[in-house]
Amino acid sequence: MSNIPAHFGFWHRLGARLLQTSSWLVLLFLIMPILVIVPLSFNVEPFFSFTEGMLTFQPEAYSLRWYQAIFKDPKWILAIQNSFFIGICATLIATVLGTCAAVGLARDEMPMRRLITAVMLSPMIVPLIITAAGMFFFYADIGLAGSYLGVILAHAALGTPFVIITVTATLTGFDYALARAALNLGARPIQVFFDIIMPLIRPGVISGALFAFITSFDEVVVILFMAGPQQRTIPRQMFSGLREQINPSILAIATFLILVSIALLVTIELLRRRAERMRGIELVE
Amino acid sequence: MSALSSTEASQAASAQRKKSLRAFLFVVPLLAFIMLTFIAPIGSMLWRSVNHPTVAELIPQTLTELQRWDGKTTPDPQTFGVFATELQALAKQRLSGKLAEEFNRAYAGMSSVVKSTARKVRSLSPEELNSQGAEILLNANPKWSRPALWFAIQRAGQPYTYDYYLTALDLEVNLEQGIQVREDTQIYLQLYGKTLYMALQITLLCALLGYPLAYYLSVLPKNRANLLLVLVLLPFWTSLLVRTTAWIALLQTNGIINSSLLSIGVINQPIEMLYTSFATVIAMTHILLPFMILPLYSVMRGIDTSYMRAAMSLGAKPLPAFARIYFPMTLPGLSAGALLVFIISVGYYITPALVGGTDGQMISNIIAFHMQSSNNWELAAALGSLLLGLILLLYWLYDRFVGASNIKLG
């Protein structure tokens, strides 16, 4: 290991080596369960484990049958459509309301800031089982249980805290003199928002939207309690699959979800770098 | 310093109010939205945990009659007559099953008593029921003479009650109006204890695994650390269901861990790992580990390495230097991560439900059970409210020690 300095004594050297090994083991622990799913989803047999043939890399031990099974099963197709439809609608609501609120919260003259922030972040803090139980009672009473609207509103509420946090982060250090200058020069408030504030906070808004989307996309407890059979999403379908009859089509859909999360991770990372660059430019100026 | 005239002062104040109002207007839409879609449901759960009018609506007259009852002996014949009449009416409307279920919650074993009695009174005439109610009921089942049973009915008939909280805490009210430890079943306190214990195990495991890794990442050059951080962030972004599925594939009886251990000859027969509390703890540690690593890493990155070098050059041995110089500086990150992991794991539902079996269930799972299977929604609401109280307490601690505004994402 080349990065251990040469002047280290034996014990120090051993310690550094131990640290390195244990860190890699923990990284392995983190990543291995996810990686293991991908090859298993190509299993020709209906098992959740590697067969002899797979371990000796015989081509006939691998197949795409579970992927085909998903695209032939109307339940999975409905679940995929639902996941995206509910996720996108919930994200739109959460992003618009959350961004607007974050702009207000960042103002110095905001009254009762602590209390309001606590209320707005509460959907993130309260355990999902409690949220789901409460929504089950309440949404049934107002006739929204088992409807798309009910699920979308519920998921939007769960997503807003993430939008608030990310947008607030990009707003710290935002110079309101810019907005005042624009107002002085005759811009209408709405123009100020879209032409001055929005371009500066856009990375925060987009990453907040992505967080809100993944929150909805991954959410299953609320769906479990208050959605009807028509609103079954991918995680909901996986949940019943894991409870009732386990077969590798769940692994195939899991592989698809891993690809979705990689795409989101890359987007967030790019946005973060961009935001860092923008802040770097501000500092230079 | 020149004093402001009163008009100037009031102008300034009104301008300030205007500004506050303008800031507030930005927040109003979301505030209203959260109130309607989130706070109101939580409120309805809290309300349901203390308000349960079902029994009061099913047998209102019997409950009025019971107000005359002394609470120590068998109620008078008139009460029996009124109850028999109401029971017949319920049986005819097919509601006696509902009453049986409600009574059974208040007094174990009541379900069959109510159902069999309901069948007997169904065909009798109103006059018979009114005049001979006591004999008919006692013939149908001698349990109707027990004062404890009528006491349970009387309590179940209260539209506002704290009884579900007592049940949730393994307590009950006995005939002498005293609160005592529940005699027949005591499961909930134990379950709260187990939930906290498992959350503690998960938190400790996360700290144990996360601390060295976060330290290792913090001393690497930034580019390399960012690259390795992707391995931490990918699980963080991967669907919870995917990660739980992975642990099922790993831990199954003929799963990956067992078959590899078998093939290298460490064990002779597969170990039962899935559907145990071990499975819950290990899978949740995997799921929550990023919540520990990320705050630790960001704190450790900010620690100047010269402190440790200074301590060592002044003669401190590495271990004492670590314990007395470095470790205290990482405490903010460690406490943030630990509290976050603990708070999240206390209320976790999905993973225990899928990999925990009967042994690895947590308090959330019993709430779901009462919501979906036993249909005891009021008890589920009471258990949920207690859990909510616990979470808010923990979160208050988090806010005091860490600061809620320090929540960062990614």
Q: Does domain B188-406 have CATH number 1.10.3720.10?
A: yes
Residue A41 forms part of a structural domain: yes
Whether residues A45 and A81 fall in one domain: no
- Residues of chain A in contact with residue B380, where contact means CB-CB under 8 angstroms, are 133
DSSP annotation of B183: S
For B350, which of A48, A221, A262 is closest by C-beta distance? A221
Overall domain count for chain A: 2
Residue A1 falls inside a structural domain: no
Residue A256 lies in a domain: no
Last residue of some domain: A61, A81, A97? Answer: A61
Same domain, A150 and A27: no
Q: How many angstroms separate the CA atoms of B139 and B141, rounded?
A: 5
CA B168 vs. chain centroid, Å, equals: 11
Contacts of A66 (CB under 8 A, 6+ apart): A41, A42, A43, A247, A248, A249, A251, A252
Q: Is residue A52 part of a domain?
A: yes
Rounded to the nearest 10 degrees, the angle between the axes of helix B377-401 and helix A128-141 is 130
pLDDT at residue A4, rounded to an integer: 63
Among candidates A197, A201, A162, A173, which has minimal Cα distance to A183?
Answer: A197
Asked if A29 and A151 sit in the same domain, the reply is: no
> Could you say which of A40, A61, A82 is where a domain stops?
A61
At residue B128, φ and ψ (nearest 5 deg) are -55, -50
List the 34-93 stretch of A: residues with Cβ below 8 A of B: 34, 36-37, 40, 47-50, 93
Ordered by start, the domain boundaries in chain B are 54-160, 188-406
Q: Look at A15 and B25 and tell me if their CB atoms are within 8 Å.
A: no
Calculate the alpha carbon distances from A112 to A107, A248, B154, B182, B403 in Å.
12, 52, 46, 44, 17
Is A198 in the B-facing interface, judged by CB distances under 8 Å? no
Cβ-based neighbours of B338, under 8 Å, separated by 6 or more: B203, B206, B207, B292
Closest CA to B17 of A109, A106, A100, A116: A109
Q: Side chain identity at B185, as an amino acid letter?
A: T
A164, A101 contact by CB (below 8 A): yes
- Grouping H, G, I as helix, E, B as strand and the rest as coil, residue B229 is helix
* Pair A47, A126 in one domain: no
Same-domain status, A187 and A144 = yes
- Alpha-helix residue ranges (DSSP H) falling in B275-362: 277-301, 306-313, 318-321, 327-346, 350-355
Which of A83, A128, A137, A205 to probe by mutation at the B interface, max B CB count within 10 Å?
A137
Residue A165 lies in a domain: yes
Whether residue A19 and residue B24 make contact (CB cut-off 8 A), yes or no, is no
CB atoms B234 and A127 under 8 Å: no
pLDDT tens track of chain A, all 285 residues?
445 666 667 877 888 899 999 999 999 999 999 998 898 888 888 877 777 777 777 888 888 888 998 989 999 999 999 999 999 999 999 999 999 999 888 887 888 888 898 899 999 989 999 999 999 999 999 999 899 999 999 999 999 999 999 898 888 777 778 888 998 998 888 888 888 888 888 888 998 999 999 999 999 999 999 998 999 999 999 999 998 877 788 999 999 999 999 998 898 888 877 777 766 654 443
Positive or negative, the Cα torsion across A276, A278, A282, A284?
positive
A42 and A95 share one domain: no
Question: What is the pLDDT at residue B147?
Answer: 86
**Are A168 and A47 in a shared domain?**
no
Overall pTM > 0.90: no
Report yes or no: B249 and A40 within 8 Å, Cβ to Cβ.
yes
pLDDT reading at B59 higher than 70? yes
Cα Rg, chain B, nearest whole Å: 31
Asked if A114 and A187 sit in the same domain, the reply is yes
Q: Do B38 and A130 touch (CB under 8 A)?
A: no
> A158 CB contacts (<8 Å, ≥6 apart)?
A90, A123, A124, A128, A131, A215, A216, A219, A222
Q: Which residues from B are below 8 Å from A19, CB to CB? A: 212, 215-216
Identify whether residues A29 and A89 lie together within a single domain: no
CB contact under 8 A, B246 and A272: no
Contacts of A262 in chain B (CB under 8 A): 234, 237
ipTM of the complex: 0.87
Q: Are residues A56 and A77 in the same domain?
A: no
pLDDT of residue A284: 40
pLDDT band, residue B148 (cuts 50/70/90)? confident
| Spatial separation of the C-alpha atoms in residues A251 and A44, rounded to whole Å | 12
- Could B249 and A34 be called an inter-chain contact, meaning their C-beta atoms sit closer than 8 Å? no
Question: Which range marks the domain in which residue A16 is found?
Answer: 10-61
Contact A126 B45 (CB under 8 A): no
* Pair A174, A47 in one domain: no
pLDDT in tens, B253-277: 888 888 888 888 888 888 888 999 9
Residue A112 lies in a domain: yes
* Residue A106 φ then ψ, to 5°: -75, -15
- Among the partner-chain residues B213, B243, B364, the one whose CB lies closest to the CB of A26 is B213
Q: pLDDT tens digit string along B324-380?
A: 889 999 988 898 899 989 999 999 999 999 999 888 889 999 999 999 988 889 999
* Cβ contact B364–A127 (<8 Å): yes
Instruction: Give CA separation, A223 vs A136, A214, A253, B38, B372, in Å.
Output: 10, 14, 18, 15, 13
pLDDT at B6: 81
Q: How far apart are the first and last CA of chain A?
A: 42
Which residues of chain A neighbour B289 with C-beta distances below 8 Å? Answer: 26, 29-30
Asked if B245's CB is within 8 angstroms of A242's CB, the reply is: yes
Q: What is the pLDDT of residues B209-267, one digit of tens each?
A: 999 999 999 999 988 998 899 999 999 889 999 999 999 989 988 888 888 888 888 88
A86/A42 same-domain check: no
